[in-house]
Structures are given as C-alpha cells and as structure tokens.
Structure 1
Amino acid sequence: MTLDVDLPRFRKLLERSCEQVLSLYETLGERRVTHASTPQRIADRFTGPLPVEGRTPEEVLASDIPFIFEHSTLNISPRFFAYVMSGGSQVGIIAELLCAALNVNSAKWHLASSAAEIERAVIRWLSAFIGYREDAGGALVSGGSEANLYCLRVARDVKAPGAREEGCRLERPLTLYASTETHSCVTKSVEMLGIGSRNLRRIPVDAHFRVDVAKLEERIRQDLDAGMQPFCIVGSAGTVNTGSVDDLDALADVAARQGLWFHVDGAYGAAAASVGLTRELFKGLERADSIALDPHKWLQVPFDAGCALVRDWASLRHAFSYAAPYLKAKSDSVERWDWMGHTFQLSRGFRALKVWMQFQVHGSRKLLAVIEDNVRLMRRLAAELDESPDFERMAPVPLSIVCFRYKPAARPALSDDALDLLNDRLLEECERRGVYFLTGTKLQGHTALRACLVNHRTREAETRGLLAHLRALGEELMRRPEGP
C-alpha cells in the first residue's frame, strides 16, 4: 500500500503549502512577534487521541497549519530581539524542501554520497569562514549544545584515554575550567561524559564579563596540588548573557603551559571572527583544539545546524569510530567517506545542504556583511542608550547583545530592588503586547533587559522602534496606580 497521492494532486499540495509560506512572509511586518493565546488554548488544540483514520492533506493544510503559524513566536520577524536566534533565509526554506524530498541518511557514503561530500566541503568552508585550521576535522550536529558535547568528548579521550574504557573513576579525577558566564550546556556535557559537574571549575569574570585569567591559573595550580587532573579550558567567544569574548590568546597560552586541551564555545560569536569590526576580539581563536559554532545563528541557516570543529580528523575518528559487521558494505573503501565513523549518529539527516546552499548563493562576503551590519546596529543602539536619561546600559557591547535597564527619573529615586521589579514587569508587558520581543537576564544580581540581534531583516527602524516601544511601556507602568 502506498502513502503517495498522484503527482497532479501532489503538485497542488506543494503549491498550497508555498502559498501559505508566501502569505506568512507577505504579512510579516504586520504580524505579532509573540502570540496572545494562553498555554491551555494551544494545548487543547493538540490533546486529541491517536488518529485511527486520517484526514486529507488538504484539510490539514487548510485548518491546522494556519493555527500553527498564528501560534508560533516569529524569530523570523525583524522585531525579534530575544535569545540568539536568527531569522533563517529563503534559500534555507528551499534546501529543507529538497532534503525532505530526497530523505537520505548521510551517515554512510553508499547511502548518500553527495551528502557525505557536501558536508566535508561545508566543514572546510566553516573553518575557513572563522579563520581556523585548513585541516580541521568536524561534523554538523543539532546546535551549540551538541557541538560542545562532541568537542569535550574528544578532549576527554585525547587527554585522558583511559576514561573511554574505564569511565571517569580515575586515580586523579578530571577537572576542566570555564568562566561563570559560560553556557549551561557545558555543565550538561560534563555530566553526560561522566566527569561530573562538581569537577567543572567556574572561574570569576572581570568587569567586562571575561574570564579572569590570573584566577584561572591559580585554580589550576590548586587542583594540581590537590592531586586532580586538569584536562581542558573552555573559552567563550560570545557569551549568551552579554556577548563577551574571553582573552582567547591568553587562554591558549595557559593551556599550552599546562598541557591542557583548549576548547572555544563560539556557538554565537565565532562567526564574527573574520569581521573587520570585531576581528581583534578573537585573536587566539586559531589556536583552539576545538570550536563549537552554529550556522543556524549568524549564518542565517534554518534550525537546526550546529558544527563541532576539532584540530584534526584523527581525534574525531578515535572518539566515534566503532566496527560492526552489519554496517560493513562490500563497497567500503578509504575513498568513500563514512560519517558514522566521525559522529555518534547512525541515522543522520542531510543538514549540510542548507549550509552549502547558503554559501553557494550568498557567498562569504555577503554573510560577513550581515554580521557587521548587526554589530553596527546594536552598537548604535548602545550609544542611544548612553545618551538617554531614562535608560542605563549594564554591560559592554562587543558583539550584538545589548544589556540595559529602564531607569526613569523619579522622586525619590527608585532603589535597585524597585528597578528590578519594574524591569521584570516591563519584560512581561513587552512579550504580552507582541510588537517586539526581547528577553532578560541577571547581571551582578540585577535584572537586565537583553536585546540580541542575529537577523538579516532588521534595520535601524526596528532598533529605534524597540527603544521607543520600551520607553512608552515603561512610562505606562510608572503611571499605573500600583506604581512601578
């Protein structure tokens, strides 16, 4: 029994789907960024039992897809300033359709030869794009979290080879080092690798939210004296809180002196390493033993597309290559590149096509220009904040994240606790209205509004509009009878 419809009907279904996509983009400027429905209303729509008899695809497209579109947060909108999420691209939409049509498993060369070779090309191109090694190994994964996990797995196996067979119950417990601003996925990774979060040393940061190198070296010495086995330093190339970039060159020096693996989490920021405005921030990136980066962030590739880069292919193969008779094919040879020997997965989608098409269609120059434009826009926003009497910037702006708070003139002046409450309410009100969307964070114990831009559709009209919108909401909150 086939699940296919006849080709003329399939054509009409594709056309109808394309019309829905076109309608979404035609109305993008007028659409809310966040939806207004309650969680219960959305849950109720999808709580039905397992369908026994199906419906026509025409009915699903007509009744369900519009609801899904209407009740999705639109990170594709130029007014989206939340998290570190790009707007995707038209090229990516086309690539995803083509991938689904082929439905290949890229884990093994003889199942997807073009996919295998395209991913190898993409790894070379991504490495070149950020100014890393020409001979770097790597693999496309789901995102920065998985990329960091892959890289730390390789680091563990290289620096503590016994851990692969014996686990991490070593005579000298493994320790690794990262700043207090490092992404939470590093904690998840060390727990999954059996190292234990207790052995992740969180090093304080300086006034620019970069790791304090002197305190890092001091902690490594303490651990060595205590009989521990330091094995890895994690540097941040664009933290998720403020976009800060650690002194990567100094970290590489420490790692070299101590014989440690040097890993860089560049999921957000590494793509800016070759941009003129920001290049100097990333000095030392090329010395890393491994790097995590996300094409689905600043390269505008649709979700999901992360990348783990390591210094050579041998270390990647050592971590993930296993022999199994049911995976061996008579046609296997050294010329046929099997990704299953370089990754955890034996079932892998064709992620590489959308990254490959993005480079082929737009080229590195245009993609770098998008990043530079985002940085300029957010630095301009930071300058406007500095000139505004009712806003206060709370962190430097090395990349495209701006942290600030609404601080109205009031008599008497609002305390820090009152300002925290006011800005928390401001964030809630902004999301409820849906005109703009940004998130918050905590910096030095206080609430900060956090605007992040990694979207090629955003222009100065949107950044100026964000500030005006927040000011209007803040003034409204101050006028309410209950006060700020």
Structure 2
Amino acid sequence: MNLDFEPERFRRLLAQASEQVLSLHASLPRSRVTHASSPRTVAEPFLGILPETGMEPEAVIQDFIPFIFEHSTLNLSPRFFAYIMSGGSQVGVLADLLCAGLNVNSAKWHLASAAAEVERTAVRWLGEFIGYRSGPGGALVSGGSEANLYGLRVARDVHAPDVREQGLAGSRPLTLYASEETHSCITKSVEMLGLGSSHLRKVPVHADFRVDVDRLEQAVRRDANAGLKPFCIVGNAGTVNTGAVDDLEALADVAERHGLWFHVDGAYGAAAARVEGVRGRFKGLERADSVALDPHKWLQVPFEAGCALIRDWDGLRRAFTYSAAYLQARSDSEERWDWMGHTFQLSRAFRALKVWMQLQVYGSGKLRAVIADNLQLMQQLGAEVDAACDFERLAPVSLSILCFRYVPSVGRRWDEASLDMLNARLLEECERRGQFFLTGTRLRGRTALRACLVNHRTTAAETHGLLAHLRSVGEELAASWEGGA
C-alpha cells in the first residue's frame, strides 16, 4: 500500500508546514522564551489511544503543531541565555528537510555514496575550523556526550588492546584524569566502557576554575607507583559551568611525558580556537589525540550534530570495524568509504548534510564572526556586572559564560544562606515569567546565576535587557522577602 500523497497535495502540505516555521521565526522577538503551562496541560492533547484510521495530515499540522511550538522552550530566541544551546540556523532547517526527503542510511557507501563523501568533507573541515589538523580521523555523532565516549573508547583500545576480547578483568585497572569541572558525560563514558568511575581521578582546580596541572601529574605518578595503569588525560576546552579552558599545552606535556592519551572535551569551546582574542587560550589543542566538538553549539547547526575527531583514521577503524556475512562489500570496497567501519551505528542519519551546508553557505569567516560577537557581548555584560552595586561576578568570563549573583544593595543585610535562596528564587521567577531564560549553578558552595550565549540572533539589546530584567525581578523579590517564605 503506497503511503505517498499526490504531488500537488504534498506541495500544499510542505507549504503549510513551512508557514508554521515562518510564523515561529517571525514571532521570536516578542514570544516568551519559556512557557508557563503545567505538565498536565502539556500532556493532555497527547493522551489519546493509538489511532486505527488516523487523521488528515492538514488537520495534524493545524491542530497540533502550533500547540507543540507554543509549549516548547525557544532556544531559538535571542533572549535565551540558559544551556549551551544555539538557536540553529535557517540553512539547517532546509538541510533537515532535504535530508528527511532523501531518507538515506549513511552507514554504507552503496546505500549513500554522496552522503559518505559529504561527511568525510565535513569532518575534515571541522578539524581545520578549530585548527586541529588537516584530514583528521573522525565521525559525526549525536553530540558531545557521544563524541567524548568515542574518544575514550579509542584511547582504551589503544592502551589496552586485548580488552575487546579478554575484557578488563585480567588487566591492571586503567585510570584517567580530568578536572573536577569536567562534564558528567566523562563519568558516564567511563562507566559505559567498564573502567569504573572510581578510576576517574577528578583533580581540583585553581581560582580561575582551570585544572591544577601539578596535582594532576602527581596523581598520575601516584597511581603508576601503586600498580595501576594511567592511560588518559582529559582537558577542557570550555567547561559547562564557567567556560574555563584548561592549560592544554601543559596537559599535552604531561601526557607526552607519561605516554598517555590526551583527549580534549571541546564540545562547547573548541569552535573558538581560531577566533582572534581567545585563540591563545587553546594552545596545545592541536596536540590532542582526540577532540570532542559540537557543531550544534557555537556553529549554529540544528540538533543533533556532534563530532568525534581522532588523530588518525586507524584508531577509529580498530575500534569499530567488525565483519558480518550480510554486510560484505563488493570487490571495489577499497574505493568505497563505509562509515559502518568507523562508527558504532549501522543505521545512521545523514546529519552531515546540515553540517556541510552550514559551512558551505556561511563559510568559516562568518561563523567565526558570530563567535567573536558572542564573546564580546558577554565580556561587556561581565563589565556591567562588575560596575553594578547590586551584582557580583563569581568567575572569570573566559569565553561566553558569565556566572554572577544578585546582591541587593539596599535594605537588610543578607547572609550567604539567604543570598543563595534569593538567587534560586530569582531563577525560578525568571523562568516562570518567560521573558528571559538563564540557569544556575553552584560555584565554591554558592548559588550562581549562569548566563551563556551561543546564539547568532542575540544583540546588546538582549544582554542589557537581561541585566535590567534580573534587577527588576530581584528588587521585587527582595522587597517582599521574609526569610525565604
């Protein structure tokens, strides 16, 4: 039974769907960033039973899509300062439409030959964009978590080549090293790889939230002397809490001295590695054995688009090449690039199209200009916080993350516990009102407001507006404060 529509009806449906997208983008300047509906309200339209006969697609688009758009947090908005989530791009919208229309599985060359070559180019271009190397090994994955997992998987197999067949039971415990500010996906990866989270050494950081390299090296020596097997150092090229960039050059030196794999989590910050004004902070990135990068962050590619970059292709092949009779290639296989031999997946979306189109349409210069603009805006916002009598900055503005807190300048004296409660309430109230959205974190035991910018639509009007909005809401909360009640 053919499920296709007649060509003219399909054309009208595409136009109807496009109008929904156009309306969404046109309303961004005035739309709420967050919605205020309850979980029950959001769930209610979707509680029906599985339909037997279904409904017309025109009705589905008309009746459900506006509700879904209305009840989604708009990271597209220029007033979104929460997680490290870009606003995407309209080129990405076009690419996803084209990709869905083609519907290829990019795992095998003879199923998606053009897709295979597009991805090879996209990986090469991403390596060049961050100044890593020309022609690195790599693969496009779902995001930073998977990209970090890939890097650590290859590192494990290089330093414990028997583990794939023999497992970890008979080997010396493998240990790896990262700062206490490292993303939680590193812990998840360690657990998924069977290494055990107790063998991940979380090293303290300095006042600027960069890893203490001396203490890291001491931990490496201590574990080696205790009969363990150090194998990997993880450096941060932009932490999620503060945007701190570790001393990558020093970490590369430690890895080289001890014969360890050097992995860099650059999911957020590595895209800025060749941007004027901050490029010096990334010195040493080019020495990494593997790098995690997220095009769906600062490169403005729509979700999902991560990239695992490996120093050479051999590491990926050794980690992921398997054979199965039904997957045997033809005799010209050496000329065919099968991604199934370089990744875990045998079913892979053509996500490379939106990454390649983004780079092809905008070029590296315009994308770096977006990053530079974001960096400048957050530096200016940090300066405004420093100049204010009712805000206090809690960490350096290393990239485009600003951590600070509201401290009322008049009225009662506020102790630390009350300030923590007040700032937590301020975050909740901002999300409830929906004009701006930012998140919080904990830094050295204190509650911080955390504003992050990786959006090409944001201007100085929004950064100034964010501070004014926080001040207004903060003054309102402080005036009515009764011990947090």
Indicate the TM-score class for this superposition, using the shorter chain for normalisation.
over 0.9
**Other-structure match for 2:462:** 462
Question: For residues 115 and 51 of structure 1, what CA distance do their matches in structure 2 show?
Answer: 35
Match status 1:115 vs 2:115 = yes
**Other-structure match for 2:57:** 57
Measured against aligned partners, the alpha-carbon deviations of 1:44-76 in whole angstroms (never above 9, x if no partner) come to 221222121100001100100000000000000
- Compute the TM-score of the two structures, normalised by the length of structure 2: 0.99
How far residue 329 of structure 1 moved from its aligned partner, in angstroms, is: 3.1
Q: Secondary structure at the match of 1:337?
A: coil
Amino acid paired to 2:397: V
Match status 1:415 vs 2:415 = yes
Q: Secondary structure at the match of 2:299?
A: coil
Q: Secondary structure at the match of 1:396?
A: coil
Match status 1:270 vs 2:300 = no
How far residue 165 of structure 1 moved from its aligned partner, in angstroms, is: 1.3
**Other-structure match for 2:378:** 378
How far residue 331 of structure 1 moved from its aligned partner, in angstroms, is: 5.4
Question: For residues 341 and 447 of structure 2, what CA distance do their matches in structure 1 show?
Answer: 46
**Other-structure match for 1:152:** 152
How far residue 483 of structure 1 moved from its aligned partner, in angstroms, is: 5.6
Question: For residues 284 and 214 of structure 1, what CA distance do their matches in structure 2 show?
Answer: 17
Question: For residues 332 and 428 of structure 2, what CA distance do their matches in structure 1 show?
Answer: 57
**Residues 476 and 184 of structure 1: CA distance in aligned 2, closer, same or farther (over 3 Å):** same
Q: In 2, are the aligned partners of 1:84 and 1:454 still within 8 Å (CA)?
A: yes
Q: Secondary structure at the match of 2:335?
A: coil
How far residue 221 of structure 1 moved from its aligned partner, in angstroms, is: 1.1
**Residues 294 and 288 of structure 1: CA distance in aligned 2, closer, same or farther (over 3 Å):** same
Q: Secondary structure at the match of 1:334?
A: helix
**Other-structure match for 2:74:** 74
Question: For residues 2 and 144 of structure 1, what CA distance do their matches in structure 2 show?
Answer: 39
How far residue 135 of structure 1 moved from its aligned partner, in angstroms, is: 3.1
Q: Secondary structure at the match of 1:317?
A: helix
Question: For residues 170 and 79 of structure 1, what CA distance do their matches in structure 2 show?
Answer: 53
**Other-structure match for 2:90:** 90
Match status 1:42 vs 2:42 = yes
Q: Secondary structure at the match of 1:10?
A: helix
Question: For residues 174 and 292 of structure 1, what CA distance do their matches in structure 2 show?
Answer: 21
Question: For residues 353 and 189 of structure 2, what CA distance do their matches in structure 1 show?
Answer: 27
Question: For residues 50 and 99 of structure 1, what CA distance do their matches in structure 2 show?
Answer: 28
Measured against aligned partners, the alpha-carbon deviations of 1:86-124 in whole angstroms (never above 9, x if no partner) come to 000000000000000000000000100100000000011
Large movers: runs of 4+ above 3 Å:
none
**Other-structure match for 1:228:** 228
Question: For residues 51 and 175 of structure 2, what CA distance do their matches in structure 1 show?
Answer: 50
**Other-structure match for 1:401:** 401
How far residue 332 of structure 1 moved from its aligned partner, in angstroms, is: 4.4
Amino acid paired to 1:365: G
**Other-structure match for 2:424:** 424
**Other-structure match for 1:165:** 165
Match status 1:242 vs 2:242 = yes
Amino acid paired to 2:346: L
Question: For residues 29 and 203 of structure 2, what CA distance do their matches in structure 1 show?
Answer: 43
Q: Secondary structure at the match of 2:231?
A: strand
Measured against aligned partners, the alpha-carbon deviations of 1:328-352 in whole angstroms (never above 9, x if no partner) come to 1335421110000000000000000
Match status 1:140 vs 2:155 = no
Q: Secondary structure at the match of 2:402?
A: strand
**Other-structure match for 1:27:** 27
Question: For residues 238 and 166 of structure 1, what CA distance do their matches in structure 2 show?
Answer: 36
Q: In 2, are the aligned partners of 1:92 and 1:357 still within 8 Å (CA)?
A: yes
Q: Secondary structure at the match of 1:438?
A: strand
How far residue 434 of structure 1 moved from its aligned partner, in angstroms, is: 0.2
- Compute the TM-score of the two structures, normalised by the length of structure 1: 0.99
Amino acid paired to 1:153: R
How far residue 144 of structure 1 moved from its aligned partner, in angstroms, is: 0.1
Q: In 2, are the aligned partners of 1:477 and 1:483 still within 8 Å (CA)?
A: no
**Residues 7 and 195 of structure 1: CA distance in aligned 2, closer, same or farther (over 3 Å):** same
How far residue 411 of structure 1 moved from its aligned partner, in angstroms, is: 4.6
User: What fraction of aligned residue pairs are identical, expressed as a percent?
Assistant: 70
Q: Report the aligned-residue RMSD.
A: 0.9
Question: For residues 316 and 332 of structure 1, what CA distance do their matches in structure 2 show?
Answer: 21
Question: For residues 291 and 259 of structure 1, what CA distance do their matches in structure 2 show?
Answer: 18
**Other-structure match for 2:471:** 471
Question: For residues 332 and 136 of structure 1, what CA distance do their matches in structure 2 show?
Answer: 24
**Other-structure match for 1:204:** 204
Question: For residues 360 and 313 of structure 2, what CA distance do their matches in structure 1 show?
Answer: 25
Question: For residues 364 and 258 of structure 2, what CA distance do their matches in structure 1 show?
Answer: 36
Match status 1:218 vs 2:218 = yes
**Residues 481 and 277 of structure 1: CA distance in aligned 2, closer, same or farther (over 3 Å):** closer
**Other-structure match for 1:320:** 320
Q: In 1, are the aligned partners of 2:418 and 2:483 still within 8 Å (CA)?
A: no
Q: Secondary structure at the match of 2:333?
A: coil
Q: In 1, are the aligned partners of 2:105 and 2:350 still within 8 Å (CA)?
A: yes
How far residue 482 of structure 1 moved from its aligned partner, in angstroms, is: 2.8
Q: Select between 259-268 and 21-30 the one with higher mean Cα deviation.
A: 21-30
Amino acid paired to 1:246: D
How far residue 10 of structure 1 moved from its aligned partner, in angstroms, is: 0.4
Amino acid paired to 1:312: D
What stretches of structure 1 of length at least 5 have no aligned partner?
Answer: none
Question: For residues 277 and 354 of structure 2, what CA distance do their matches in structure 1 show?
Answer: 27
**Other-structure match for 1:446:** 446
How far residue 169 of structure 1 moved from its aligned partner, in angstroms, is: 1.6
Amino acid paired to 1:25: H
Question: For residues 55 and 179 of structure 1, what CA distance do their matches in structure 2 show?
Answer: 53
Question: For residues 114 and 102 of structure 2, what CA distance do their matches in structure 1 show?
Answer: 11
Measured against aligned partners, the alpha-carbon deviations of 1:193-212 in whole angstroms (never above 9, x if no partner) come to 00010110000000010110
Amino acid paired to 2:136: A
Q: In 2, are the aligned partners of 1:105 and 1:347 still within 8 Å (CA)?
A: yes
Q: Secondary structure at the match of 1:132?
A: coil
Question: For residues 58 and 234 of structure 1, what CA distance do their matches in structure 2 show?
Answer: 50
What stretches of structure 2 of length at least 5 have no aligned partner?
Answer: none
Measured against aligned partners, the alpha-carbon deviations of 1:11-60 in whole angstroms (never above 9, x if no partner) come to 00000011111111111111000001001111222122212110000110
**Other-structure match for 1:15:** 15
Question: For residues 240 and 51 of structure 2, what CA distance do their matches in structure 1 show?
Answer: 41
Question: For residues 146 and 52 of structure 2, what CA distance do their matches in structure 1 show?
Answer: 36
Measured against aligned partners, the alpha-carbon deviations of 1:297-349 in whole angstroms (never above 9, x if no partner) come to 00000000000000000011000000111011335421110000000000000
How far residue 479 of structure 1 moved from its aligned partner, in angstroms, is: 1.5
